[in-house]
Amino acid sequence: MDYKIQSMENILLISVKGELDDHAAKAVREKADSALCKKELKHLIFDFSELALMDSAGIGLIMGRYRLIRPRQGKTAIICKNDSVRKILKMSGLFKLFKCYSDFQEAYDYLTKESKEVTI
Amino acid sequence: MNNYMTIRFKSLPENETLARSCIASFILPMNPTLSELADVKTSVSEAVTNCVIHGYEGKEGTIELTAIIEDDMLTLKISDEGKGIPDIEQAKEPLYTSKPELERSGMGFTIMESFMDSISIISSPSCGTTIIMTKRMAAAPQVSQCACQ
């Protein structure tokens, strides 16, 4: 597992490659939460485009971070291509809360477009 | 084809990767599709995580993984000698978790139930837990085909 946490404008981008299990989720969670101490970060993008496998720990990771940004009126987008990962997201009911996007640009457009609409 | 293996390992979170790699290598001769392979690896991941987090609660213990191939049928048995499950029906409920503080989603058993064909849970308090799961692999080479060659 390899991961990267980057902030850009008011978005925190969490990219995870390889296999996301409970052990891996712990490491990502710690880094993401320390980045989220910055209150200007409002939106989340989970980039799972290079994720080969995810178990239920991934659900916990997404929901935990979602709860942190919800009071900031933030939105969450997931970039996902893998069928097995998609199946788990669907099964857990996460698609009722977030949408899946095929690449970063699509996810970014959704978040920035939506937030502009809100400010108008 | 008939084959079996048993591995025993320490209840370390790092060993979730080991268990997934071992089962993936073991079932390769069954010619699993990418989706079947992911289903089996994810189910093993869930079961082993349960042993580490719930069975032993982070304490030291041994986890045993047995896999049996009988033609196109895969049977997995994952056991711990940890604290056991007091209420199995409750544990199986989607979104139920006894450890919300660890950000467990409560989806472990639901995922195992949907990714495998069958699952049985044998557990009693302080006597450990054994999970037995089966899955039929669609593309597994049949014995009759081998005989024709």
- The CATH number of the domain holding residue A100 is 3.30.750.24
The Cα angle at residue B15 between residues B13 and B16, in degrees rounded to 5: 75
Average pLDDT over residues A79-105: 92
* pLDDT tens digits, one per residue of B86-132: 889 888 888 888 888 777 888 999 999 999 999 999 999 989 999 99
At A116, is the pLDDT very low, low, confident or very high (cuts 50, 70, 90)?
Answer: low
Q: Residue B138's pLDDT is what?
A: 86
At B147, is the pLDDT very low, low, confident or very high (cuts 50, 70, 90)?
Answer: very low
Residue A12, token pair as written in the block: 């925190």
A118 assigned to some structural domain: no
Residue B13 and residue A91: Cβ atoms within 8 Å?
A: no
Q: With CA atoms as reference, report the closest residue to B49 among B135, B109, B114, B119.
A: B109
Number of domains in chain A: 1
Domains in chain B (CATH in brackets) are 2-148 (3.30.565.10)
Amino acid at B47: A
Amino acid at A48: F
A120 assigned to some structural domain: no
Q: Residue B142's pLDDT is what?
A: 61
Amino acid at A117: E
Domain extent, residue A14, equals 2-111
* pLDDT tens digits, one per residue of A27-67: 999 999 999 998 899 999 999 999 999 999 999 999 999 99
pTM above 0.80, yes or no: yes
User: CA-to-CA distance for B113 and B134, rounded, in angstroms?
Assistant: 10
Percent of chain B with pLDDT over 70: 93
Contacts of A56 in chain B (CB under 8 A): 46, 49, 104-108, 111
A65 assigned to some structural domain: yes
Q: Residue B93's pLDDT is what?
A: 86
A86 assigned to some structural domain: yes
Residue B12: in which H helix or E strand, if any? none
Q: Give the mutation candidate from A19, A23, A55 for the B interface (greatest B CB count, under 10 A).
A: A55
Q: Which residues of B are catalytic?
A: 46, 50, 104
Q: Residue B94's pLDDT is what?
A: 85
The Cα angle at residue A44 between residues A64 and A18, in degrees rounded to 5: 75
B148 against A98, higher pLDDT: A98
Average pLDDT over residues B47-64: 95
Q: Residue A120's pLDDT is what?
A: 44
Backbone angles phi, psi at A101, to 5 degrees: -120, 155
Residue B66, token pair as written in the block: 């047995």
Residue with tokens 């919300």: B100
A119 assigned to some structural domain: no
Residue B55, token pair as written in the block: 């069975």
* pLDDT tens digits, one per residue of B117-128: 999 999 999 899
SS3 (DSSP) at B78: strand
Residue A91 has its nearest CB partner, among B35, B52, B111, at B111
User: Would you give the distance in Å from CA B8 to the centre of its chain?
Assistant: 13
Q: Where are the alpha helices (DSSP H) in B28-94?
A: 34-50, 88-92
At A7, is the pLDDT very low, low, confident or very high (cuts 50, 70, 90)?
Answer: very high
Q: Distance, in angstroms, between B1 CA and closest chain A CA?
A: 27
Q: Residue B141's pLDDT is what?
A: 67
Residue with tokens 């970039």: A79
Residue B83, token pair as written in the block: 């604290």
A117 assigned to some structural domain: no
What are the percentages of helix, strand and coil residues in chain B, rounded to 5? 40, 25, 35
A21 assigned to some structural domain: yes
A116 assigned to some structural domain: no
